[in-house]
Amino acid sequence: MTREKLNEIGGIILDACITVHRELGPGLLESAYVIALVREIQLRGIKARVQVPVELEYKGEPLGKVYVMDILVEEEIILEIKSVVAIEPIFKAQLITYLKLANKSLGYLINFNVPLLKDGFNRIVYNF
């Protein structure tokens, strides 16, 4: 997928996140935002899957499913959803790990527990 297409889908994701945040507001469990966001993305004609396993290899040997991505959009963009007081550096590191292991270039770390969603929306690029 081209950078332009990834960025276009990124804009759709941001708009979908804003819509979900307006509808639900801050303060719910992460799982509620995941379900609502996947539905909102799908309503816009974009493919999205929930709880996608990420497998780990060690020295060439598969170790099986070790991690689970919250949402995978169009098989290319990883969304890590949070509902926390503040984004910690470990959350960004987690998303970068998912990008590396899944061989993806673009991810978004989204914290819905904020008054304005723009303050909780983080774009993470890896080998873009």
Q: 109: closest CA among 1, 43, 3, 10?
A: 10
> What per-residue string of b and e applies to 71-84 under the rule 16 or more CB within 10 Å gives b?
bbbbebbbbbbbbe
Name the pTM for this structure.
Answer: 0.92
Higher pLDDT pick, 63 / 39: 39
- pLDDT tens for residues 40-71? 999 999 999 999 998 888 898 888 778 899 99
Question: What is the structure's pLDDT at 57?
Answer: 83
Contact 62, 54 (CB under 8 A): no
User: What DSSP character marks residue 118?
Assistant: G
- pLDDT tens for residues 88-126? 999 999 999 999 999 999 999 999 999 999 999 999 999
Q: Rounded distance, CA 1 to CA 113, Å?
A: 31
